Amino acid sequence: MSQTEEICNPELAEEFIARIFATLYESWPVRIGLDAQKITGIDYDVELLCGIPSVPVPREWSICSELFNWLKDEGYIKTDGFRGNVWTLGRTQLTHKAIEVLKKVPDPLNPEKKRSLIDAIVDSTKDSGKQVRNQVIKLAMTSLYQAIN
């Protein structure tokens, strides 16, 4: 049973996008590898797929893998591609497009301060309790969607 079974796919996707953006922004401009375990926080040994009986891949890992593809296709990340499996990306970084959007949008919790959306995302992925983090991520993703459209 997965740790986040009660959360719907869009909510998981928003949380994982925030983690991906925060991780890549903090390493920018250095390209880094990303994997589903790091983003989802769920351990899974891919060797278990070959076992008898095989153990299914966590749903969170599948969502994360699809997000890697989506973020690349939408032009938010540049990557060397998958490495060894569909849950691990090689050297990856945010694109100029992603950084521009993340810095252009004000912090949804503190719009009067000179903080940007990426500041709120980075802070929420580190220190906040789950409820506060989810609120920040929801506001941040709404702001991001509005800025893109």
Per-residue pLDDT reduced to its tens digit, 46-63: 777 666 666 788 899 999
Strand order in the sheet with 88-94: 32-35, 88-94, 77-79
79 within a domain of the structure (yes/no): yes
DSSP state of 85: S
14 within a domain of the structure (yes/no): yes
The proportion of the chain whose per-residue pLDDT surpasses 90, expressed as a percent, equals 34
Q: Which residues pair with 88 in a beta bridge?
A: 35
CA dihedral defined by 93, 94, 96, 99, rounded to 10 degrees? -140
29 within a domain of the structure (yes/no): yes
118 within a domain of the structure (yes/no): yes
* Structural domain boundaries enclosing 128: 9-148
71 within a domain of the structure (yes/no): yes
Residue for token digits 């998958």?
82
33 or 115, greater pLDDT: 33
Our count of domains for the chain comes to: 1
pTM of the model: 0.79
Under 8 Å between Cβ of 117 and 106? yes
- The average pLDDT across 112-125 equals 79
How many angstroms from the chain centroid is the CA of residue 137?
Answer: 11
1 within a domain of the structure (yes/no): no
4 within a domain of the structure (yes/no): no
3 within a domain of the structure (yes/no): no
